[in-house]
Structure 1
């Protein structure tokens, strides 16, 4: 016979609390982003340089004209015109490079004509995201402007430190806004919000990647462009050095945001390269 105690239900063992699996969202691989940035650039040095040269052709032509008519050019007006031209062409190149880099990430060759076409189509979205990004920095700019107006240099220097820190944090947060606007076809401010979401947990690494890529790219380009400066005369050396540096540096600057966006979408949302690049099909 069974005792009354045996017929009582036994208590279930206390459930073991399992730790939620750690997502990879905060584990952006620093070395992988750096290596793929430069490997993508090296493998596509000729097409990317041709792409940048074609896009920057108006800037190059204007620079030649200014060099030949230096005595007739108003320096202030020249600075404004140069900034407008390079800025507008920069949007075009960034949009085209987003397509070109995604083609590489999914193992396909870069088609220069297609990249130019896709880039031209995406310019309005890229421009909108850039304007929204500038507006996000407006409070910091106003703080510095007001401080410079009412305070002395010592106070301005003191205020500049926290403003620079906050500005750097904000830059890392909105680092992917243009990629979001072009690839996900979102509005300007929605692209900013989405960039904040995708960069959460990886902003320090984004900052480090920007620093390392900037240093390495500058060193490489100095070595590449230096022969031009050596064989040219003094005036032409400075001109060619600046022009070549601008055209060669532009593609490198456009690659890291695309690689980081690609990795962030993969790690946070499990989307592969083909799905991400399908938006361009």
Structure 2
């Protein structure tokens, strides 16, 4: 088992492993590339062209497996953060509290299933009696799924995994993290900004950590006309788990009321159209 206190996995030790679907390889049996890398490699041998139809089926299978496993999950929040977060750190404690509060509020938590902040959120939710989900990804030197995950799904392709993060969540909570966390943050940010998904709160925890990024977005992108203040308002930044979860709870309640009103309006419109159709004179 790879130690979660290590900053990276060392391929020369027995602890290093590589998962490809249901298969786990170690030491010299570990492949040198991932499914994502092979899919995106345009410089490879032309014979790869003949495998693409089969690769599409594999991609389809990932969606089927993910959708099938999560279809009955219920209300859930996806939480992101660094795999490098130390157990003794304040950020880890925040992750534990986020998981606990979300579980107590009736939400399942969905993380990347790894160590660090992800482990903290899964542990907090699990200890509070909530449902804890981990969506793992094939990486060159990956770490094992953390022990606090109740439902684990392993993906080869990032885009299939990210679809499940969004599709089965009612919002995102973002803890301090690195490149992967930024990828997940801006994926959701773009989807909400372009109205691909609606009524989807995005809450970042840690004003000190995130303020530099927000300042750059405002002073560069907004100032140059590449984004608007309304766009930035989609990102809410707080300092405590309590504030973050309260935003999620309030947004979910607002969304429920909005959907109820929209449903009622739709029913009334259908009734009116049906009544009008019944009394309309026949077309001659």
What TM-score does the superposition give when structure 2 sets the normalisation length?
0.25
RCO (CA 8 Å, sep 6+): is it higher in 1 or 2? 1
Which protein has the larger Cα radius of gyration, Structure 1 or Structure 2? Answer: 1
The structure with the greater share of residues assigned to strand is: 2
What TM-score does the superposition give when structure 1 sets the normalisation length?
0.25
The structure with the greater share of residues assigned to helix is: 1
